[in-house]
Amino acid sequence: MPGAEETFPFSEGLSVFKTRGKVFALTRLDGDPLTVSVKCDPDLAEQLRASYEAIVPGYHLNKRHWITITVNADVPDPHVRDLIEDSYDLVRPRRARPDANA
């Protein structure tokens, strides 16, 4: 994703993905099972947690705005990718809108 970078600010095994300094995904590389935590719209997060056993409130994160997904469980891979992209979209800087009065 444009402007995304992988960093390891907490430990070598905890991969943190950011865009312009804002975190949009975290994963423990040696996790078994592998999980990924992503930012999520709070209403959608509730729906996802009710629909999938593999989606739970964000581990060590704000439970309202983050979800943790167990990879290769009951969430199809394309949906996991979509949730990562949605998380990126939630934190990436928005372009300023042109002033309608200008």
Encode 38-59: b = buried (16+ Cβ within 10 Å), e = exposed.
Answer: bbbeeeebeebbeebebbbbbe
**pLDDT on residue 59:** 86
Give the alpha-carbon dihedral of 13, 89, 57, 71, to 10 degrees.
-50
Of residues 45, 71, 41, 44, the one with CA closest to residue 56: 45
In residues, how long is the chain? 102
Q: What was the pLDDT predicted at 60?
A: 87
pLDDT over 70, % of the chain: 91
| Global pTM value | 0.86
* Mean pLDDT value across the chain: 91
Give the least confident one: 56-60, 67-71, 92-96.
Answer: 92-96
